[in-house]
Structure 1
Amino acid sequence: MRRYLMWGVGLLAYIVAVFYRSSLGVAGVAAAERLGVGTALLSMLSVAQLAVYAGMQIPVGVLLDRFGSRRLLATGGLLMLAGQLVFAFAGDIGTAIAARVLIGVGDAMAFISVLRIVALWFPPRQNPLLVQVTGMVGQLGALCSAVPLVLLLRHAGWTATFLGAAGLGAAAVLLVVTTLRDEPATVHAGPSEIPAARSDAVPAKRERGLRHSWAHPGTRLGLWTHFVTQFSGTVFALLWGYPFLTQGEGLAPGTAALLLSLLTVGGLVMGPLIGHFCGRLPYHRSTLVFAIVGASAAAWAVVLLWPGRAPLWLLTGLVLVLMVNGPGSMIGFDYARSFNPADRIGGATGIVNVGGFVASIVLIVAIGVVLQLRTGPGAEHPSLGAFRWAFSLQYLLWGLGAVQVYRYRRTTRRRVAAEALRLAIA
């Protein structure tokens, strides 16, 4: 049972990190009013946070392999706490950006630290499911940043709302420092266990270092898997979904917040199912990735081409499709686990985690610029047509990501076959 306690402590720290990360999604309109900025500058808040998050993934991965999960979760929690305190009192865009940068640096240390706990405390056969559960339960933080945060902002005001959120971070840091341990006395064989169906065993001589993780095409397959599956749901939940639903589609704020909550709750259901699929049919993981991308692209096509404002049932359907994006992106981490030994899992996970957040940053910036360009002078907010043009940019990213997944799937399979042959000869 001790392993579940360690995992639970790390998971709580990750939930708080997701709460901080996602809080801007429903606070975006309030932030624009408080800071006196338009859509392009507003997007810089999320861009600054995500850019730092993505840029820190590989350095944090290296630090994680050296210093362990406990130190990084504690350090990251303190940085996020500081950022949240600054954000609570921010009155201009510069201060707000600085706050989101601090949150982004701290957030970068959370998820991959918890994945390392899973890798070292649990048997390898449990990893695919537990990675999915980690990612999805962590999204409870996004759920708490939807309806509850909207109500708090409305009734308690900006400063009180974000000061209260800072208190959650302080409690999480205290729990990590007093309870968490990096690894058990006996470490399991590690995340390098490969399902028998794949025959992609790792050579006996395990080479350390980030360079060796990157050299394996399976790691890059994980990166592009994360890239192509994550960005649509992330951008929708993190910043532009709420304005699209309220300003573009004309939904009431409460209804829009409920849809964002549905996005999170649905992910909690789909995560374990996808984890079970990856554990049972590892050779078909990339097929599932293509199915997720195709479904997301098709759902958005219907919404964007609908004449006039989309009905609520259609927007609900879009959210139901997007709720698979988060669990689907976790398949990338399963690739990192499959093709890298335990002593470099932090670096490999960091490489994979860069993919989806780079795509999200690009899309957030692009949507902000398009909305700014297509919103006339004096307009209170962007039109539905402007939102449609902006969200159509997703198809460029889907196309690039799908090509790269297909490319590295073929390369990885050739590498696996060659390694299996070499081991058989030896």
Structure 2
Amino acid sequence: MDKQESRYRWLVLSISLFAYFVIVSQRTAPGLVTDTLMSEFHVSAAVIGLMSSIQFFAYAGLQIPIGLLSDRFGPNRFLIAGTLLNGIGCLIFSFAPNESLLIFARFLAGIGDAAIFVNVVLILSEWFKAGEFIKLMGIVSLAASIGSLTATFPYSAWISSTSWRQPFLVIGIILLITTFLLYYILVARPGKMFKDEAKTKKVSEKAPESVWAILKRMFTARQAWATFLCHFGVVGTYIGFIGSWGVPYGIHVFGLSRSAASQLMMYGLLGAMIGGPLISWMTSKLGTIKKIYALVHLIVFLSWCGLFLSGVNPSFLLAVSLFFIIGFGNGASSLTFAAVRSSFRIEEVGVISGFSNMGGFLSAVLLPIVFGKVLDFFPGDALNAGYHYGFLIPVLFSFLGLTGALLLKEERKEEVSA
């Protein structure tokens, strides 16, 4: 039986997407309780920025090693281990008595998170045909957007009705249960169902290429750097802001309640939910990645410019509209990995995907820290000005993303079975 023809692959897709959805849902959830944590633990905005960033620092720093290891040893066990670590990180966060343990918990969650997306990409490459890949990445983008949407008003209402600790406790438990389901569906059962295929694969395996040769080829490839910059600009700015300062922005600049401010961020997430599947479908139909992705990056760059140019007291309607457009652009981020899949050998997809993904989360590491330091220069009544000048950071980062999109080369899609 061929994996890529079996109905079992849809079960593999379902459990992989569920794990990814749950992990994404808690990835930005700490941004909902930024003010609460600052008050409860008596820490500055810069410390909270560090807590948000250290998770993405761990994520970004491990993308290349995880990609190399997953290409060489297979993605299943790394996805399982990442889910387990993420669950443990959530549990520790829910019980943390001080800011040091909060930071450690988010660091541990970041280590686990680092093993998720790259391995979801590789698992889809293994179980589905290359021709289905762009559309599947749109579904993955939709799952991520729904996960992020869950971390806005639903989580905010949950926190308001209980406490900030309970959601992280429950999500941690769900992730531990998901870990066992992943092992059964990805490892235990397929091992019995596809014995012959596993034996054939083992016999046909060649001696692994040197890590240094792979890295040298990656770091000298224009296409790898182009996809890195694309993700840096369109993903990092969106996740970095929404996951740290988005809700406080709504509270301080527009005087919204926590729930209402989380709904402001929800407009961006709705945009991402629409943008992911729609742009993937358009790209699949039109057969061009570069033109569509360059246009998306231009629109995102102009939207961040619009938020900056709107001044210290921006229009609420304008902010809503621009967050929706920025979210729509983030939904197109799956095109980064469509470009990787069409440009590189299947044996390199993991490490190149990791490198490209690192770009987005390096941006998400830097943005909350720098944004927090800018805000610390504008205390009290001047905080609106702090947010105004802080928007220069995503303006610069999204410009780098546009540069990456313009550097992309349109490659002929390689029909490789994975």
Q: TM-score range by the shorter chain?
A: 0.7 to 0.9
Opposite residue 181 of structure 2, the aligned amino acid is L
User: For structure 1, which segment, 45-54 or 116-125, has the greater mean C-alpha deviation from structure 2 after superposition?
Assistant: 116-125
Give the equivalent residue in structure 1 for 2:70.
64
- The equivalences for 1:103-142 within 5 A come to 103-142=109-148
Give the equivalent residue in structure 2 for 1:273.
278
Give the equivalent residue in structure 1 for 2:400.
400
Unaligned runs of 5+ in 1: 188-205, 421-426
Give the equivalent residue in structure 2 for 1:248.
253
Give the equivalent residue in structure 2 for 1:330.
334
Give the equivalent residue in structure 1 for 2:364.
360
Counterpart check, 1:306 vs 2:310: yes
Q: CA deviation at 1:308?
A: 5.4
Instruction: Tell me if structure 1 keeps the 8 A contact 2:298–2:402.
Output: no
| Secondary structure, aligned partner of 2:256 | coil
Distance 1:405 1:261, change over 3 A: closer
Q: CA deviation at 1:393?
A: 2.1
Distance 1:327 1:51, change over 3 A: same
Instruction: Tell me if structure 2 keeps the 8 A contact 1:221–1:335.
Output: no
| Secondary structure, aligned partner of 1:310 | coil
Counterpart check, 1:101 vs 2:101: no
Give the equivalent residue in structure 1 for 2:152.
146
User: For structure 1, which segment, 100-109 or 258-267, has the greater mean C-alpha deviation from structure 2 after superposition?
Assistant: 258-267
Residues in 1 aligned to 2:82 and 2:19: alpha-carbon distance in whole angstroms = 9
Instruction: Tell me if structure 1 keeps the 8 A contact 2:275–2:330.
Output: no
Q: CA deviation at 1:12?
A: 0.8
TM-score by length of 2: 0.86
User: For structure 1, which segment, 86-95 or 303-312, has the greater mean C-alpha deviation from structure 2 after superposition?
Assistant: 303-312
Instruction: Tell me if structure 2 keeps the 8 A contact 1:259–1:316.
Output: yes
Residues in 2 aligned to 1:266 and 1:113: alpha-carbon distance in whole angstroms = 26
Q: CA deviation at 1:307?
A: 5.6
1:252-286 CA deviation, whole Å, 9 max, x = no partner?
A: 32222122223223212211111122223344x23
Q: CA deviation at 1:226?
A: 1.1
User: For structure 1, which segment, 228-237 or 82-91, has the greater mean C-alpha deviation from structure 2 after superposition?
Assistant: 228-237
TM-score by length of 1: 0.85
User: For structure 1, which segment, 356-365 or 251-260, has the greater mean C-alpha deviation from structure 2 after superposition?
Assistant: 251-260
Distance 1:334 1:160, change over 3 A: same
Give the equivalent residue in structure 1 for 2:221.
216
Q: CA deviation at 1:382?
A: 6.0
Distance 1:186 1:335, change over 3 A: farther
1:73-118 CA deviation, whole Å, 9 max, x = no partner?
A: 1111111111111111112221111000000000011111111111
1:147-177 CA deviation, whole Å, 9 max, x = no partner?
A: 2221222221133232112122112112101
Instruction: Tell me if structure 1 keeps the 8 A contact 2:236–2:363.
Output: yes
Paired-residue identity, %: 25
Opposite residue 347 of structure 1, the aligned amino acid is V
Instruction: Tell me if structure 2 keeps the 8 A contact 1:226–1:330.
Output: no
Residues in 2 aligned to 1:311 and 1:225: alpha-carbon distance in whole angstroms = 29
Q: What is the aligned-residue RMSD (CA, Å)?
A: 2.4
Give the equivalent residue in structure 2 for 1:198.
none
Distance 1:214 1:125, change over 3 A: farther
Instruction: Tell me if structure 1 keeps the 8 A contact 2:232–2:400.
Output: no
Give the equivalent residue in structure 2 for 1:257.
262
Unaligned runs of 5+ in 2: 1-6, 199-207
Instruction: Tell me if structure 2 keeps the 8 A contact 1:371–1:386.
Output: yes
Residues in 1 aligned to 2:126 and 2:404: alpha-carbon distance in whole angstroms = 30
Distance 1:235 1:112, change over 3 A: same
